Amino acid sequence: MPVGLSALWSSPFQPIGIAVQVFFTSQAAQSDEFRDPVVQRVNFVMRRMAWLVPTATVELSDVVAPSGGVDKRCLVELKTVRCGRVVVTSIARDWSSALDNALTSAMGALRASGQERPQAGR
């Protein structure tokens, strides 16, 4: 039996305060199964940037790999308060890796643009 997305991203922390509004679309047959874990993962990753990113759009789809197999594509679009839109696409062999890679790249793009709130004492 395949491991579900919620088992891969289990976290003891509950979101507190402001949460990012996440819009989710998927062409996969299991899209209803993916919705809650994807929304939870996006809110967890964006928890310190929710003041800057009020909305995020996540799109999951299958793509045909050059080797003939099927890879997973994750498109993440963040609409920010200060710098407009940040759009990142990631392709991986499974949904969780594609989403994690796209979120990591998106956070890196926000940090590189200087939009991150400075931390006290750093």
For residue 86, how far is the Cα from the chain centroid? 12
| Per-residue confidence band for 44, with pLDDT thresholds at 50, 70 and 90 | very high
Predicted local confidence at residue 82, as pLDDT:
81
pLDDT tens, position by position, 50-98: 888 899 999 999 888 777 778 899 999 999 888 789 999 999 999 999 9
The pLDDT of residue 41 is above 60:
yes
In which band, very low, low, confident or very high, does the pLDDT at 117 lie, cut at 50, 70 and 90? low
Distances (CA, A) of 58 to 66, 77, 102, 120: 24, 7, 10, 31
CB 103 within 8 A of CB 38: no
Q: Is the pLDDT of residue 114 over 90?
A: no
**Has this prediction a pTM greater than 0.85?**
no
CA distances from 56 to 38, 70, 104 (A): 11, 26, 14
Name the H helices within the chain: 5-8, 31-45, 95-112
10 Å CB burial of residue 42 (0-12, 13-18, 19+) is: buried
